[in-house]
Structure 1
Amino acid sequence: MGINNQNTVTIDNRTLLDKLVKIAIPIAIQGVVSATLGLVDNLMVGFLGEAELAAVGIATQVYFIHYLFLFGFNSGTATFMAQFYGNGDKKNIRKVLGFDMAVALCIGTLFFIVSFFFTDQILHIYTDDSVIIAMARPYVKIGTVTYFFLAVSAPLETAFKSTQQTKVPMIISAVVFSTNTFLNYVFIFGKFGAPAMGISGAALATCIARCAEMVISMIVANRGNYGLDGKLKDFLGWDRELIVRVVKNALPTTGNELFWSIGTSMYVAAFARIGTTAYASYQAAATINNIFSFAAFSVGDATLILVGAKLGEGKKDYAYALAKKMLKIGTLFGVLCGLVVIAAAWPLVNLFALTALGKIYAFRILVVYGLTMGLNLFAGINITGVLRGGGDTRYAMFTEVGCIWSVAVPLAFAASLWWHLPIYMAVLCVRGNDLVESIILYHRFKSKKWMNTVITGL
Structure 2
Amino acid sequence: MKGTEVKNQQTLNDIKTRELLSMLRKIALPIALQSLIGSSLSLIDNLMVGSLGELQLNAVGVSVQIFFVYWMLLYGISGGAATFISQFYGVGDFKNIRRTTGFTLTIAMGIGLLFFIAAEAFPQYILRIFTKFPEVIEEGCSYVRIGAPTFLMLAVTQPFTIALRATQQTRLPLYASAVALATNTGLNYLLIFGKLGLPALGVDGAALATSIARLLEMGLILFVVFGRKNKIAGKLSEFFSYGKDLAKRIYRNALPTTANETLWGLGTSLYVAAFARIGITEGAAIQACNTINNLFSLAAFSIGDAILILIGQKLGEGKLELAYAMSKKIIMVGLIIGLVMGGGVILMGEPILRLFDFTPEGAVYAKKILMVYGATLWLTLYNAMHVTGTLRGGGDTRFAMLTETGTVWLIGVPLAFLTSLYLHWPIYIAVLAVKSEEVVKAMILTKRYLSKKWLKNVIENIAL
- TM-score, normalised to structure 2, is 0.96
Counterpart Cα distance in 1 of 2:299 and 2:409: 26
Aligned to 2:233, what secondary structure does the other structure show?
A: coil
Aligned to 1:456, what secondary structure does the other structure show?
A: coil
**Matched residue, 1:246:** 250
**Count of residue correspondences:** 454
Counterpart Cα distance in 2 of 1:141 and 1:295: 29
**Matched residue, 1:445:** 449
**Matched residue, 2:148:** 144
Corresponding position: 1:28 with 2:32 = yes
Which of the residues 298, 318, 322 maps onto 1:294?
298
**Matched residue, 2:409:** 405
Corresponding position: 1:190 with 2:194 = yes
Counterpart Cα distance in 1 of 2:281 and 2:116: 31
Corresponding position: 1:392 with 2:415 = no
**Matched residue, 1:84:** 88
Counterpart Cα distance in 1 of 2:445 and 2:50: 39
What runs of 5+ residues in structure 2 fail to find an aligned partner? none
Q: Note the aligned Cα RMSD (angstroms).
A: 1.2
Counterpart Cα distance in 2 of 1:332 and 1:411: 29
Counterpart Cα distance in 2 of 1:192 and 1:43: 20
Aligned to 2:128, what secondary structure does the other structure show?
A: helix
CA displacement at 1:223 relative to structure 2 = 2.9
Provide Cα deviations, 1:157-212, integer angstroms capped at 9, x if missing partner. Answer: 10111000000111111000000111111111111121111101111111111110
**Matched residue, 2:273:** 269
Instruction: Give the aligned residue type for 1:382.
Output: H
Counterpart Cα distance in 2 of 1:58 and 1:103: 26
**Matched residue, 1:211:** 215
Counterpart Cα distance in 1 of 2:425 and 2:299: 30
Instruction: Give the aligned residue type for 2:84.
Output: F
The answer to whether the 8 A contact 2:17-2:329 is kept is no
Counterpart Cα distance in 1 of 2:423 and 2:214: 41
Which of the residues 60, 64, 70 maps onto 1:60?
64
CA displacement at 1:225 relative to structure 2 = 4.9
Aligned to 1:451, what secondary structure does the other structure show?
A: coil
**Matched residue, 1:434:** 438
Corresponding position: 1:330 with 2:331 = no
Instruction: Give the aligned residue type for 1:326.
Output: I
Counterpart Cα distance in 1 of 2:183 and 2:51: 20
Which of the residues 406, 413, 418 maps onto 1:414?
418
Large movers: runs of 4+ above 2 Å? 5-10, 223-226
**Matched residue, 1:44:** 48
Counterpart Cα distance in 2 of 1:107 and 1:162: 22
**Matched residue, 2:125:** 121
Instruction: Give the aligned residue type for 1:261.
Output: G
Provide Cα deviations, 1:44-70, integer angstroms capped at 9, x if missing partner. Answer: 000110000000000111000011100
Identity of aligned residues (%): 50
**Matched residue, 1:343:** 347
Corresponding position: 1:100 with 2:100 = no
Provide Cα deviations, 1:72-130, integer angstroms capped at 9, x if missing partner. Answer: 00000000000001111011000111111111100101111222212111111111211
The answer to whether the 8 A contact 2:143-2:207 is kept is yes
CA displacement at 1:224 relative to structure 2 = 3.1
Counterpart Cα distance in 1 of 2:240 and 2:376: 44
CA displacement at 1:387 relative to structure 2 = 0.4
**Matched residue, 1:381:** 385
Counterpart Cα distance in 1 of 2:67 and 2:91: 35
Counterpart Cα distance in 2 of 1:47 and 1:355: 12
Aligned to 1:125, what secondary structure does the other structure show?
A: coil
Counterpart Cα distance in 2 of 1:207 and 1:222: 23
Counterpart Cα distance in 2 of 1:396 and 1:317: 20
Corresponding position: 1:423 with 2:427 = yes
Instruction: Give the aligned residue type for 1:341.
Output: V
Counterpart Cα distance in 2 of 1:144 and 1:225: 31
Aligned to 1:126, what secondary structure does the other structure show?
A: coil
Counterpart Cα distance in 1 of 2:374 and 2:147: 32
CA displacement at 1:14 relative to structure 2 = 2.0
Corresponding position: 1:310 with 2:314 = yes
- TM-score, normalised to structure 1, is 0.97
Which of the residues 357, 360, 370 maps onto 1:356?
360
**Matched residue, 1:130:** 134
CA displacement at 1:259 relative to structure 2 = 0.8
Counterpart Cα distance in 2 of 1:61 and 1:82: 30
Counterpart Cα distance in 2 of 1:275 and 1:76: 38
The answer to whether the 8 A contact 2:293-2:345 is kept is yes
Aligned to 1:229, what secondary structure does the other structure show?
A: coil
What runs of 5+ residues in structure 1 fail to find an aligned partner? none
